[in-house]
Amino acid sequence: MTIPTLQVEDLETHFPTRDGIVRAVDGVSFDVAEGEILGLVGESGSGKSITGFSILGLIDPPGRIAGGRVLFKGEDITSASPERMRSLRGSRIAMIFQDPMMTLNPVLRVDTQMIETVQAHEKVSEAAARARAVETLKAVGIAAPEERLLAYPHQLSGGMRQRIAIATALLHSPDLIIADEPTTALDVTIQGQILYEMRKLCRDTGTALIWITHDLSVVAGLADRIMVMYAGKIVETGPVATVIERPQHPYTRGLIGSVPGVLPRGKRLFQIPGMTPAPLNLPPGCRFKTRCSRADTLCDTLPELVELHPNHSVRCHHPHDARPLTPTESAA
Amino acid sequence: MTAPMIELRQISKRFVWRLDLASRLANLLGAGIRERAVHAVNHVDLGIAEGEVVGLVGESGCGKSTLGRIVAGIMDASEGEIRFRGKALSAMTEEERRDYKLAVQMIFQDPYASLNPRMRVEDIIGEAPVAHGLIRRSEMGEYVEKLMQQVGLDPRYRRRYPHQFSGGQRQRIGVARALAVQPRFIVCDEAVAALDVSIQAQVLNLFMDLREQLGLTYLFISHNLAVVEHISDRVVIMYLGRVVESAPTEELFAAPNHPYTKALLAEAPKLVAERRDYTPIKGEIPSPLDPPTGCHFHPRCPFAMARCKTEAPPLREIAPGRMSACHLNEMATV
């Protein structure tokens, strides 16, 4: 059996604050196989981005990984030396951020930055590095890549910058890409182009992809598997069709019911009452119980993530039946 | 049919980059630097009937926010005429104009930037109605409490500052502030774009409830098609300053006419777990500083003809209540 590209085991990331420890990621475990696209979905404060940063070892002190392991192709990288991490980051594992200006240096031309990235991990001539930059820019759908290489980031549109950030991530054909809301700031037609190209790249190269987003509808057409996080914990995970069509956790069902377009026009949207609990003030037991219509005394103890069907796990004492979400039901 | 509540006639807005002293001096020496103008809104006609919800959709730089600001009276149009209840703004007296500005209120995208961080919630909501003499200062507390209840905020929090509220609650404060002057018409500029999905649903429900209770009319500006489809009676699509299509919501989503509308609908992410293997439309949105000649969409349009490069198609009626600006429609009828 082949080893998954990424194995995350019981990951815990903590941020000490004056008022106590914020458990931003609290016991998260999952695998990503070669060529698989995992959609990591959650609202603000769910810990989805911190999970991504933790895998890459990008947590700023005083925040720290307090427990668990991250295995990249079987190698434990939570305990890896800084040198080892540096050689992995940008070559074997790449990250794409929401704001491409987090990746791009505003005072350097695109070619300087891309060639530097190539030469940081491989001994190749500048001409060869430039040729590779042109190749990858073409692969992400940039017309006239030679000209774009001579531009400064501010001369390019937002969509173009994000493509360059993606191309930079692809320079070393990484085994794993972590993409943190890379299309959220982009227009619909540009987002469509980027989703299309990312999907094609993963299919062609066998790169594993973790796509972090708050928007279920973006990953619905992209991911193979979806993982929903709430307040630092995974609440539901399964194949994309199962989670979207037959969600069993009340939070996932609520989230899907809240998306306009599922219900007939003009009907009141399903609303999850209240808001995400403050990370320092989580309710004991199930973290969703204060907003859940099914909660009872059983929910004062934290439910385990249970595999209810093959590959479909839910963290709930009172999961819904595995039947499709109907418009009338979600409106109730 | 009754006259529209608000009517825009041939509204245009140009932002001109004026020459500074240095450029003018350089021009004296023959540098030939010219003024540059962005045609943000380009001869737009739009009528909104009382009680109607019109969704205005477009991508960044299409002029939808500028148009919203012109309607709300925050910005003046460079050309064209706005009529409110049949009367042109230019013909209004000072007092009528004030009534218009009170009747039309705006809710902004960013609930963090649109509230003064140094004012208490009760002053944010209560200031305008007191200033305009709608209520006496002594009645302010009670008035603010009533409004906070109406938008789903706990009135006990009225002495708090904006930073003590979450994003969704702040957006409710923005709604309460707009409602405080008893408007008839509300311009929502990306009012739910910055909110999490579950909070977005709460605020959209609030908009629909308020419409029912108060009979409000909305101009709902958004780039999110699913939101617009859900809330609007009619949808207007803009591209680079021009309206390209306008139709009742059901008809537009069932059978889009303009190639740009078709592309937008095809590419909007939907909550359906199926692989979509379409080929996305090519290219980027052109710079509004230097828009393409003829039809603005022709460089990206899969159906572009020679004529599209030279001649801008006018917005014409293609069916009752449906307008579209595309040369293809003429071909079909000939």
pLDDT tens sequence across A129-144: 999 999 999 888 787 8
Output the pLDDT for position A239. Answer: 94
* B212-227 core/surface letters (b: 16 or more CB in 10 A; e: else): eeeebbbbbbbbbbbb
Output the pLDDT for position B279. Answer: 66
pLDDT at B334 over 50: no
Output the pLDDT for position B192. Answer: 86
pLDDT at A330 over 50: no
Q: What span, in angstroms and rounded, lies between the C-alpha atoms of B97 and B73?
A: 9
Which among B79-83, B190-194, B272-276 has the top mean pLDDT? B79-83
Q: How confident is the model over A286-314, as a mean pLDDT?
A: 90
How confident is residue A227, by pLDDT bands cut at 50, 70 and 90?
A: very high
Q: How confident is the model over B79-96, as a mean pLDDT?
A: 90
A241, A265, A272 member nearest B198 (Cβ)? A272
CB B292 within 8 A of CB B298: yes
- Residue B25: partners with Cβ closer than 8 Å, 6 or more residues away: none
Of the listed ranges A86-100, A270-284, B9-23, B133-147, the least confidently predicted one is: A270-284
Encode pLDDT of A209-218 as tens digits.
999 998 888 8
| Inter-chain CB proximity B285 and A187 less than 8 Å | yes
Strand order in the sheet with A64-72: A20-32, A6-17, A64-72, A75-76
Output the pLDDT for position B20. Answer: 84
How many angstroms away from the CA of A87 is the closest CA of chain B? Answer: 35
For chain A, the domains span 6-223, 229-314
Nearest CA in chain B to A39: B273
| φ, ψ of residue B185 in degrees (nearest 5) | -140, 130
Local structure of residue A153 (DSSP, 8 states)? G
| Chain-centroid distance, C-alpha A35 | 15
Encode pLDDT of B257-285 as tens digits.
999 999 888 887 777 766 666 667 777 77
pLDDT at A107 over 80: yes
B95 reaches A (C-beta below 8 A): no
Output the pLDDT for position A326. Answer: 61
Closest CA to B237 of A203, A189, A102: A189
Beta strands B234-239 and B217-222, pairing class: unpaired
Output the pLDDT for position B2. Answer: 63
Q: How confident is the model over B298-302, as a mean pLDDT?
A: 89
Output the pLDDT for position B275. Answer: 61
How many angstroms away from the CA of A54 is the closest CA of chain B? Answer: 23
Q: How confident is the model over B85-108, as a mean pLDDT?
A: 90
Q: What is the CB-side half-sphere exposure of residue A195 using CA atoms within 13 A?
A: 33
Output the pLDDT for position B274. Answer: 64
Encode pLDDT of B221-266 as tens digits.
998 888 899 999 999 999 999 999 999 999 999 999 999 999 888 8
Name beta bridge partners: A180. Answer: A212
Output the pLDDT for position B277. Answer: 60
Share of chain A above pLDDT 90, in %: 47
CATH of domain A6-223: 3.40.50.300
Q: How confident is the model over A246-269, as a mean pLDDT?
A: 84
How confident is residue B287, by pLDDT bands cut at 50, 70 and 90?
A: confident
**Domain B6-118+161-255 fold:** Rossmann fold (3.40.50)
Nearest CA in chain B to A252: B198
Q: Taking the CB of residue B85, how many other CB atoms lie within 10 A of it?
A: 15
pLDDT at A206 over 70: yes
A156 reaches B (C-beta below 8 A): no
- Return mean pLDDT, chain A: 88
CB B281 within 8 A of CB B302: yes
Neighboring chain B residues of A187 at a CB cutoff of 8 Å: 59-60, 223, 285
Q: Taking the CB of residue B113, how many other CB atoms lie within 10 A of it?
A: 9
Q: Using alpha carbons only, what angle is made at residue A98 by residues A81 and B55, rounded to the nearest 5 degrees?
A: 165
Q: What span, in angstroms and rounded, lies between the C-alpha atoms of B290 and B41?
A: 14
Structure tokens given for B171:
């957006």
Neighboring chain A residues of B272 at a CB cutoff of 8 Å: 220-221, 244
Q: Give the DSSP H or E segment for A25.
A: strand A20-32
pLDDT at B118 over 50: yes
Local structure of residue A3 (DSSP, 8 states)? P
CB B167 within 8 A of CB B111: yes
Residues 54-73 on A with a CB inside 8 Å of B are none
* B91-104 core/surface letters (b: 16 or more CB in 10 A; e: else): ebeeeeeeebbbbb
